[in-house]
Structure 1
């Protein structure tokens, strides 16, 4: 998946959404860049028929699921798998800008994406130095 590899070049991964606040913030920003009725890759990856994880290895503890059960099931049905498995074998997640919900999509679709990269902080003086 080119999107994840591109994020890796900048020291990050496709974005992990760990809270409702993060989801609202990202959805709002995404509308500005890709439009109201678009979608973009986020870092969710289904690694087998029942397990989802974030590309950066974090446990998927927050889900903003679409209303269609055929698309994705509820978070309580996921089991976190910490085993190192090959990525991109199953489905990925996209964030819909129209409603902030997620839906599964083919990892090899060509579309916009959002990376989560480490923050760059300006150097600060300590004790006036």
Structure 2
């Protein structure tokens, strides 16, 4: 069975560099153990990184103990659906790569909300 994205087509990898995803497989795949619902593939921005840091989740500082180099603006990352929605409500939502966003994201936000923040360059 093929995993679907929010467009109803096959889920495309989000990023291998930095390596993202709940399973660190490059994709926004999920299962019942993914309590954070890392479903939305985004292209992080400086505005979003500052917003996330202010909310207690510093994604830009390297954490070598987790093999995490820290994110820079322009990096792609599988973001928790609730964090994206929170950023949306605060005016800080990063652009979304729809082809790489898991269909389960629609349980948290609407397709229209995601499409309004669509990132159009799908090169990896």
TM-score (norm 2): 0.29
Higher strand share: 1
